[in-house]
Amino acid sequence: MTIKEVLIKVYGAEQKCPSCVNLPSSKETAEWLEAAIARKFPEQSFTISYINMESPETDEDTAFVEMMIEEDLFYPVVVIDGEVVAEGNPRLKTIFDYMEKSGYKAAV
């Protein structure tokens, strides 16, 4: 199976959402995810980016942030290849499962 390099976007804000007070910030979550994914799938390329919902840089990100606000999603919101896979406190298992479905092989 060929690996399709995934694009992971973590949308969030500097200020934590009210229900996420005891959790890491959205930016910290993005950094944590990057490290965890790199350990689980070593030497396999992926892209992860943090998008500050207060200042999105692209029209696509702006539209997504507007949808997040309209639907009251808990942030951070983790999007892989355009699909929302987690919101609030992301679960590594869910993200790892998605990576494996995309052809990534976990380190033993």
Report helix angle 92-101 to 26-40, nearest 10: 50
Q: Is the separation of the CB atoms in 30 and 86 below 8 Å? A: no
pLDDT tier, 16 (very low <50, low <70, confident <90, very high otherwise): low
The structure's pTM equals: 0.89
pLDDT digits (tens, 9 = 90+) for 75-108: 899 999 999 999 988 999 999 999 999 999 998 7
Complete domains list, the chain, with CATH: 7-101 (3.40.30.30)
> What whole-number distance in Å separates Cα of residue 11 and Cα of residue 79?
8
